């Protein structure tokens, strides 16, 4: 069935409105530190790095949209103005200095405009500032262990808790950090390669056996933040979540004192005793 130009225009407009509604809906349903139903965009930023990532993402979206619209307009102009009916005698033009200079310089300028904020963001992510707290995260099959070398060197395991929400993200023991402090996260793997990733903080770094990697974040809001292992590491890869609880300085100090007592006599590997309940 053929459609008129008006019908095609109305359908295209409908698709555009639906897309805008979906994008707006992703913000409306967004929750701090975790994914939300119908979320089409990035999670709400919980750190300065993630704020910069979101800005760079939106900037690139504008750039590629303008490029796409320009190319579409040029294609339409070619189809309309340079078809056999409009030009029965084809042009024999082979060179145009202005156009050739333009299609060389404009892409270069676009790449420079993209490269400068890109390099700044990479430097922000990789240059770890002086840390207020260090946490060592060890990836194991299939759970995480956290150590706090600055606060008594205690260590505990964090396993999936089926009875906690959100589903497949709740754990029995969260990683706890203070708000507005630079947290250095050191990662390693005990068996295979894992990946420590928390989207709201803008961090994702591999945990490799025999190697110590590090990244950092500075949580700007208290609350719960969730992530997952982002490296395919075995049959239960989908069941080793990351839960970070950001609290005030006073609450963190109190938690450290409780944790020293709670995990002082705990075995280094709690998986054997907790796997049955958590898995």
pLDDT of residue 10: 52
The number of C-alpha atoms within 13 Å of 202 and in the hemisphere containing its C-beta is 24
CB of 244 closer than 8 Å to CB of 218: no
Q: How many CB atoms lie within 10 A of CB 249?
A: 12
- CA 115/CA 120 separation, integer angstroms: 9
The number of C-alpha atoms within 13 Å of 128 and in the hemisphere containing its C-beta is 14
| The two structure tokens encoding residue 86 | 């409009």
Q: At what angle do helices 97-126 and 48-81 cross, to 10 degrees?
A: 160
CB of 43 closer than 8 Å to CB of 221: no
The number of C-alpha atoms within 13 Å of 224 and in the hemisphere containing its C-beta is 15
pLDDT of residue 30: 52
- CA 4/CA 137 separation, integer angstroms: 61
The dihedral built from the CA positions of residue 218, 220, 224 and 230, taken in this order, carries a sign that is negative
- Which candidate, 193, 257, 198, places its Cα nearest to that of 228? 198
| The two structure tokens encoding residue 191 | 């068996």
- CA 180/CA 157 separation, integer angstroms: 25
- Which candidate, 228, 203, 235, places its Cα nearest to that of 216? 203
| The two structure tokens encoding residue 213 | 């990697």
Cα distances (Å, whole numbers) of residue 78 to 82, 86, 180, 191, 201: 5, 11, 55, 59, 46
Domains of the chain: 5-126 (1.10.287.90), 133-278 (2.60.40.420)
pLDDT of residue 96: 87
Enumerate residue ranges in the chain where pLDDT < 70: 1-30, 265-279
Whole-prediction pTM value? 0.80
pLDDT of residue 20: 45
pLDDT of residue 266: 52
Tokens 């082979």 — which residue?
A: 94
């Amino acid at each position: 069935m053929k459609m008129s130009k008006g019908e095609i225009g109305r359908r295209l407009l409908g698709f555009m409105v639906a897309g805008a509604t979906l994008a707006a809906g992703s913000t409306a349903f967004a929750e701090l530190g975790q994914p939300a139903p119908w979320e089409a965009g990035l999670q709400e930023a919980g750190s300065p790095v993630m704020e910069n990532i979101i800005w760079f993402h939106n900037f690139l979206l504008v750039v590629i949209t303008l490029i796409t619209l320009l190319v579409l307009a040029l294609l339409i102009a070619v189809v309309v103005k340079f078809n056999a009916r409009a030009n029965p005698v084809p042009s024999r033009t082979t060179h145009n200095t202005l156009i050739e200079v333009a299609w060389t310089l404009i892409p270069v300028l676009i790449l420079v405009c993209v490269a400068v904020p890109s390099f700044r963001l990479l430097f922000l992510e990789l240059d770890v500032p002086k840390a207020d707290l260090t946490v060592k995260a060890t990836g194991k099959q299939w759970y995480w262990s956290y150590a706090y070398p600055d606060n008594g060197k205690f260590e505990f395991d964090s396993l999936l808790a089926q009875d906690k929400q959100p589903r497949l993200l709740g754990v029995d023991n969260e990683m706890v950090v203070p708000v507005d402090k630079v947290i250095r996260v050191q990662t390693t793997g005990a068996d295979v390669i894992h990946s420590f990733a928390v989207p709201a903080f803008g961090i994702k770094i591999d945990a490799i056996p025999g190697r110590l990697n590090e990244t950092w974040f500075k949580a700007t809001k208290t609350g719960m933040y969730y992530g997952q292992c982002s490296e395919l590491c075995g049959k239960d890869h989908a069941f080793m979540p990351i839960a970070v609880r950001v609290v005030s300085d006073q609450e963190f100090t109190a938690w450290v004192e409780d944790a020293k007592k709670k995990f002082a006599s705990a075995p280094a590997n709690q998986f054997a005793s907790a796997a049955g309940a958590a898995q």
